[in-house]
Amino acid sequence: MLKLIQNEQGKIFIRKSTWIMYIILAVLILGSALLTNSLDGLKSEYDEDNWREELKQENAQLQKETEEYEDFEEYNNSVIAKNNYYLENDIQPAPYTAWTFVDENISLLSIVSLLTIIIAAGIVANEFRWGTIKLLLIRPISRSGILLSKYITVLLFALYTALFALVLMWIFGAIFFGIGDWNPSIVVEGEDGFKTISLIANIFTSFGFKLVNLVMMATFAFMISAVFRNSSLAIGVAIFLMMGASSIVSFFADKEWAKYILFAHTDLSQYMDGNFLMLEDNTMGFSIAVLVVYYAIFMLLSWIVFTKRDVAGQ
């Protein structure tokens, strides 16, 4: 099994296309860092000695802006309330550092999902397309073992790439914005008002939630690849559903069965403080249960269809 996994890893990383994907990911992260660095408005910096006065001035400016432009009222009032929390609790807002950059750009891990889908979609289908599946089948290992090694390889690729993106975000953030404190705190809005939490804990919580979505989309693409032996179909369907997930859920939100749609549950970060639920009655426990059921279905379909061809002599 280990040799099969190593073989599959080699197939992935020997391709130029894989390294091109990594280069594109690195360029996107660098571009985000350059953009953030060039736009001062994206970085909230407060003088160590005069931060209270600066917050009060910012509140006054936001209040004036709200009176002139009603469309900004909800957002501005939220910022004003947060600034007041800082002032009332004598908490100086943390400076913009590498940790802040990572926290604000954790959504770039959706690019990792896209890259993983491409790998998962082709890892089985391409073996049949290129005729190399015969070289695997003559080995003294079952089809289940072959499929398992490929699936583990997909998950490892997803993990490697996600960690690569996370580390690269921090490195570029450190270069452009500095490291700052090793355990900074931020203020977030929850159901019971504002509270102070660890920024690093928030980053890794968000990272964990992104991994859940990453595994589900990779498993879905892997299932399409194993069942239909068509990498283009797997890539197209998986990317379409990933990109249109929120629209699909919103379109059917008024239906009773909408709560069973997979994409209403893949983003568990909706249960973090301050985020909005895709469906009002959802709970994290229910979402996890739905994900487990879908995951089991995807895996069963992959194994049943792939191994059934042994009996048919294919």
pLDDT of residue 136: 67
Q: In the chain, which stretches have pLDDT less than 50?
A: 310-314
How does pLDDT run across 35-65, given as a tens digit for each residue?
988 876 555 666 667 888 888 888 898 888 8
Q: Give the integer Cα–Cα distance in Å for 288 and 265.
A: 7
For 146-184, b where at least 16 C-beta lie within 10 A, e where not — what string? bbbbbbbbbbebbebbbeebbebbbbbbbebbeebeeeb
Q: Give the integer Cα–Cα distance in Å for 264 and 125.
A: 28
How does pLDDT run across 127-157, given as a tens digit for each residue?
777 777 666 667 767 778 888 989 999 999 9
DSSP H/E element including 261: none
Distances (CA, A) of 78 to 39, 46, 56, 83, 194: 22, 19, 14, 9, 10
Evaluate whether 285 touches 259 at the Cβ level (below 8 Å): no
